[in-house]
Amino acid sequence: MAQINPTVGDLTGNADLILEYLQRASAVNADITLFPELALPGYPPEDLLLKPHFARANRRALERIIAASKKQFIILGFVDTDGSDIYNGAAVIVDGQLIDVYHKTYLPNYGVFDEERYFQAGRKYPVYVWGEARLGVNICEDIWYPGGPDKMQSLMGDAHLIINISASPYHANKTYDRERMLCTRAEDNAAALAYCNLVGGQDELVFDGNSLIINEGGHIIARGKAFEEDFIVADINLERVFAERLHDPRRRREKIRLTADESLYLVVVKETERNSLGTTPITPFAYQRLDEAAEVYAALVLGVGDYIRKNAFDKVYLGLSGGVDSALTAVIAADAIGAENVYAVFMPTNYSASESARDAELLAKNLGIHYQVIAIQEAFEDYLKMFAPLFQDLPVDVTEENLQARIRGNILMALSNKFRGLVLSTGNKSEMSVGYSTLYGDMVGGFAVLKDVPKTLVYRLCQYVNQRDDKPVIPEYIITRPPSAELRPDQKDQDTLPPYVVLDAIIEAYVEDDMSAEAIAQMGFAGETVRWVINRIDAAEYKRRQSPPGIKITPRAFGRDRRMPITSKFHH
């Protein structure tokens, strides 16, 4: 299984990557080599799929793979077309010939998925007869349904091995749920299962890899790396599958009850010499699953790094405030693209605490990133002087606070323009939820690293970062000090917001679980607090529409995952 990291639309580069892994497969005498869902065009191609010439170019790239694949058995994801529509396809290539194409049956159209917008659904379930081996092939969502193609392939088609090529995007704790489901499918079908997943970052999405090979008893025998490319090699004993079925009379009864219809078909694959015959059996290896903090952190590093690299940037700029959010963003950026490519700017006013300056500089030194100070007090005073005739006799309020944030955003964008670096914004999901952020100020940038990371999780990730190395990189005071935007004297976040542990719980209930204000209050939260948070979430939708993309971490991220109208009179 080639757990690869392709780039959407890079048909030549993706084909080169696929050919590289096919050479590795030949070197280990692999009988069958799997690649992820839509590995050739990259996933998800979105509206590139509406361009007929994109599908044609993808087919030309496939022909290149076919021509170079003598003496190999390959399952590869690509965009197929029959001249009247397009399909999410799995090419079955044997000994330099395209012998069949499987079309994805279940097209997900929820959350971040829009496959019904683009593809026609398949209606056929193939089983490939290769000597004594029978192989069923399906794609991603097909395996998530208990009565999906895998059941027909394994029960009525007697497939010993179910092959599922996938592009399953990550969110926290999904890997556990997915593994449990896949193990259940293997055990229920009394079939070995090979699940080859995509890895890499694509805009807001991160694909975690964690490809699996599971035996007929539902036990994992191989697991690929998390958030890294990997080449997973294992031997599968298909005779054990046959023996397992002989001991299960329930399969015979169920076969009598069901009738194989025209959707199931067999393809007899020309028997060629198995590459693995006579070679030393391979002992598969199962990497350990990461714990939640390590998993989320790895997803952020991969997502940030791929966004930067795949969009042809070589450096990033960010505002370093001495606070916890910008500190974590800086650490992630340094791990993603190297400390030498990270440029941090501290932009103080008279409201900036001396501790902020101290800790920002110390963090930059610990990380080895570039660091400079650009004081903005004079620019801020010039703004106040300019507005004085208009603002006279009006009290100082959030307007003056936002001026400071927008000056900082302007500086970062100027550096980006002049030196061709990507600006990373540093706000977290808790702030983005309730609009505790400044449009065209601290929200400015090309990528929002922590956009889907709640504040309470930010603290946990900071602790994780400090505990993983011998020496903590984030100064302890950054983590323990009360958070503040430092836009007015003695300002604290909690002057405006509920405690973050309360705020994050309400946000999760309202945003991820779609609970009403009344139901959330019944969880033990003050009704007034719940209504305030919900009102702020609803009112801030227009801000979030203008925010940079950010990595999906929670089950329901803002943007392409949670889509709410800006103009709406329905509340709570």
Catalytic sites, residue numbers: 37, 104, 140
Residue with tokens 């199931």: 264
Comparing CA positions, the residue from 282, 270, 271 lying closest to residue 1 is 282
Q: Which backbone phi and psi does 55 adopt, to 5 degrees?
A: -60, -40
Which tokens hold the place of 432? Answer: 């983005």
Which amino acid is located at 181 in the chain?
A: M
| Helix, strand, coil content of the chain in percent (nearest 5) | 40, 20, 40
CA distances 467 to 173, 226, 293, Å, are 21, 20, 11
Residue 494 CB coordination number (10 Å) = 12
Residue 416 contacts residue 447 (beta carbons within 8 Å): no
Alpha-carbon distance 451 to 252, whole Å?
52
CA distances 498 to 444, 502, 505, Å, are 25, 6, 11
Residue with tokens 């007869």: 129
Give bridge partners of residue 163 from the DSSP assignment.
Answer: 137, 194
Alpha-carbon distance 504 to 369, whole Å?
31
The CA radius of gyration of the chain, in Å to the nearest whole number, is: 27
Residue 95 CB coordination number (10 Å) = 14
Alpha-carbon distance 349 to 379, whole Å?
10
Q: Which backbone phi and psi does 29 adopt, to 5 degrees?
A: 60, 45
Alpha-carbon distance 105 to 164, whole Å?
12
